Amino acid sequence: MKNLKILGLLIIAAISFNSCSQDDDVVFIAQEPGEFAFTNAFLSEYTLTSDASSNIGERFTWTNADFEVPTNVTYELQGAISEDFSDMAVLGTTPGNELSITISKMLSMAGEAGLDNDPETENPDSGSLYFRLRSFIGNGDSSTEVFTATQTLNVVLPELAVEDDGAISLSTWGIVGSGYNNWGAYDDSPFYTTEEDNIFVAYATLFDGEIKFRENNEWTNDFGDTGADGTLDAGGDNIAVTAGHYKINLNLNDNTYSIEPFTWGIVGSGYNDWGASPDAKFFYDYTTDTFKVGVRLIDGEIKFRMNNEWTSDFGDTGADGTLDAGGDNIAVTDGHYAITLDLNNNVYTIETADLYGVVGSGYNDWGATQDFTFTEVNPGLWIAEIVPLVDGEIKFRVNDAWASDFGDSGADGTLDAGGDNIAVTAGNARIWLDITNNTYSINQ
């Protein structure tokens, strides 16, 4: 019996030693090619325009990679302008099953590929971009990686319209910094073209911090101000700014810029008891060269004034829709309205409207106070700025009512009718709703 016990102990020891030896040399076996693949539907071609540069160009989704052992997997989206990926760039990594790229990024890749939408050049206006997904474990060495098949996206760049009618458009320039978007945490605030070549204007809400001006949301070409003298210096010092609403002019003809307080708002008994709280801020719509705001009014009277002060204000003496400097108060009734100021022609409109709003434990305790109202700044594109969120959840609903509401049932940035609550963290946020593409973004 004693000999049997000793033999048993030797067998156990041998098994234990063999197990330890095998654990030191684990072999991961990935699934066969073709099983790890993209799952989203791709378009036959992608039309890329600068006007839509902030929109999502494509949202990539995929199946799980299987290495036949329980392990954490990282996914890396790669893009290239050559099919052999010799010029590959990593576009994003995630432990999840989704990554997106913007039209701005696709335009940048198209530019690197030599594509052009300028009718005055001989460059082609269509071509292909290439994407694939790499999955890996650990430090990502080649023994623990697997790729999807290459996905080709055919892109088209429409020719630039000849703007001889003075039409305003988005420029390639923007505002970046701790004073706006935490140095690129989300898209830069855009500049717009003006009647003069190489002179641009932006209307931006800034925070205390610093800013610079850069092109195409990238650092290839940027300006600061070394000397704080109003002169644009390539790669120059950051520009200190304080919180507020501003009009910023960028003159690339003489390399100068200016920053001045600028905002139009609604004041009155019909909104904020004649200034007891900040005026309802108008947003610039470059597609119509007007200022717009979505607002909930109550029975009373309103006027429009500049910079939350009485230095410059408009009323309507005659109730005929004309903006009169210092004119009579404008009578309003309770409801949701879209209001437009046309400062070129000195007219305004007030129209009843269905307005999106922010509601939830993350903002107003699910409707204990009025929802934070969005403004449609361009067709289909709505903004709520600056929303003071707290830790909690939110949804988007129309006209402070639950007849129509949107959440996000997959936490994927897609608006779902009646969908799940959206988790948010405390801080001031710019929230965008893209109704055309059924997406949203919360930028802090």
pLDDT at position 395:
98
Q: Mean per-residue pLDDT for 434-444?
A: 91
CATH number of 46-156: 2.60.40
18 confidence band (pLDDT: 50, 70, 90):
very low
164 confidence band (pLDDT: 50, 70, 90):
very low
The CA-to-CA distance between both ends of the chain, in Å, stands at: 74
Instruction: Domain ranges for the chain, please list them.
Output: 46-156, 170-261, 264-352, 356-443
Q: Is the pLDDT of residue 25 over 60?
A: no
**Using the 8-state DSSP alphabet, how is residue 50 labeled?**
G
Instruction: Let me know if the fold of 46-156 is the same as that of 356-443.
Output: yes
pLDDT at position 312:
96
Q: Is the pLDDT of residue 14 over 50?
A: no
d(CA 104, CA 187): 10
Got the DSSP string for 374-404? PEEEETTEEEEEEEEE-SEEEEEEETTSTTS
208 confidence band (pLDDT: 50, 70, 90):
very high
pLDDT at position 35:
80
Mean pLDDT score of the chain, rounded to an integer? 87
pLDDT at position 122:
63
Q: Mean per-residue pLDDT for 347-372?
A: 96
CATH architecture type of domain 356-443 = Sandwich (2.60)
pLDDT at position 16:
36
Q: Is the pLDDT of residue 321 over 60?
A: yes
400 confidence band (pLDDT: 50, 70, 90):
very high
CATH 3.30.70.260 fits 264-352, yes or no: no
Q: Give the CA count within 13 Å in the CB-facing half-sphere of 188.
A: 24
pLDDT, tens digit, 9 for 90 and up, residues 409-421: 999 999 999 999 9
d(CA 265, CA 338): 13
CATH architecture type of domain 170-261 = Sandwich (2.60)
Residue 246 CB partners (closer than 8 Å, separation 6+):
203, 204, 205, 206, 259, 260, 261, 262
Q: Mean per-residue pLDDT for 55-67?
A: 85
Residue with tokens 């623990």: 144
d(CA 74, CA 91): 13
341 confidence band (pLDDT: 50, 70, 90):
very high
Q: Is the pLDDT of residue 20 over 80?
A: no
Residue 382 CB partners (closer than 8 Å, separation 6+):
294, 356, 374, 375, 376, 432, 433, 434, 435
Residue type at position 285: D
Percent of the chain with pLDDT over 90: 67
pLDDT, tens digit, 9 for 90 and up, residues 213-226: 999 999 999 999 99
Q: CA separation (Å) from 309 to 185, 267, 275, 295?
A: 33, 10, 9, 19
Question: What are the b/e assignments for 296-313, b being 16+ CB within 10 Å?
Answer: bbeebbbbbbbbbeeeeb
d(CA 161, CA 219): 27
Q: Is the pLDDT of residue 148 over 50?
A: yes
Q: CA separation (Å) from 436 to 162, 415, 423?
A: 26, 11, 23
Residue type at position 438: N
Between 413 and 140, the higher pLDDT residue:
413
119 confidence band (pLDDT: 50, 70, 90):
low
47 confidence band (pLDDT: 50, 70, 90):
confident
